[in-house]
Chain A
Amino acid sequence: MTEEKTIDYKNIYYPPGGILLWILILLEILTFGIALIVLMVFSREDPELYHRSREILNVNFGATNTVFLLTSGFFMASSIHRFHRNDFPKAAFFLRLAALGGLLFLTLKGFEYYEKIEEGYTLGYNTFFTFYWLLTGFHVIHVLVGLFILSFMHRSLSKRTAIREDMEAGATFWHMCDLIWLLLFPALYLIL
């Protein structure tokens, strides 16, 4: 079922998760990286404004959301590990925990967004908040798509029709959400 010995990860064309996903990941982190560098360049024009705006963001929310995503990534890695051992029930269980991490992230993000809108810090408030809403908003879309993929993975695990390539690709996409957040969190919440 899992064909573990047939995939040579050391081959440049077969990274864990598949080459197409890895091309996507490189493009995604490159795009978010460039956007964050542009944010830094803009912040040099009015450092005080960006510093005050950054301080409006709740670091505790950002750090808690980081822990939610990292823990979710841990459960995803555990799920794939169990899947490789053909332990489908445990793999499905860890996948549900991974999805729970994503849902907790979205819940706290939703609360943070609600708070910012209530206080009037919307997209057009200043350029910092334009970056904040666009960058975190695109990331939230990635998490939503990831949860959608997780639901398909869970379905195929429950039906015992899961294919190794699909499971690893889904997991790699989910981890990509972690990677993007690990770039956004310090740049938006911590260093300006």
Chain B
Amino acid sequence: MRKTDIFTLALLIILTFFTALFARKDSTQWWIPLLILILSGIKFLLVSFNFMEVKKAHSFWKTSIILYLVLFISIVTLVHLS
């Protein structure tokens, strides 16, 4: 087991705990869904870059993943706030 993988897993579990915790707070606050989505986006990046080793790939694949996440989080947030 690599130390980076252990660190990544620990971070992923901590982020999961916090996203679940934030969801229990007052959902009328506009920033809570955005915060949950950003934390989930970080988890998505950790899995793809560290576990799937996208960090070693051509910049096209890294950019595609990041661009997809930014678009997804932006659209969901905009629809949610509308």
Q: Is the CB of B37 within 8 A of A191?
A: yes
A74: chain B residues at CB < 8 Å are 5-6, 8-9, 51
Overall SS of chain B's interface: helix
Residue from A11, A40, A67 in contact with B58 in the complex, judged by beta carbons closer than 8 Å = A11
User: Is there a chain B Cβ closer than 8 Å to A56's Cβ?
Assistant: no
CA distance in complex: A33, B37 (Å): 13
Q: Is the CB of B2 within 8 A of A81?
A: yes
B52: chain A residues at CB < 8 Å are 16-17, 77, 171-172, 175
Contact-residue bracket for chain B: 35 or more
Q: Report how many residues on chain A are interfacial, defined by Cβ distance under 8 Å.
A: 46
Q: Please give 6 more A-B residue pairs, beta carbons under 8 A apart, in addition to A22-B61, A36-B72, A66-B16.
A: A37-B76, A43-B80, A78-B2, A190-B23, A191-B37, A191-B76
A residues near B, CB below 8 A? 9-12, 15-17, 22, 26, 29-30, 33, 36-37, 40-41, 43-44, 51, 59-60, 62-63, 66-67, 70-71, 73-74, 76-78, 81, 171-172, 175, 178-179, 182-183, 185-187, 189-191
B residues near A, CB below 8 A? 1-2, 5-6, 8-9, 12-13, 16-17, 19-20, 22-24, 27, 32-33, 36-37, 40, 43-44, 47-48, 50-54, 56-58, 60-61, 64, 68, 72, 75-76, 79-80, 82
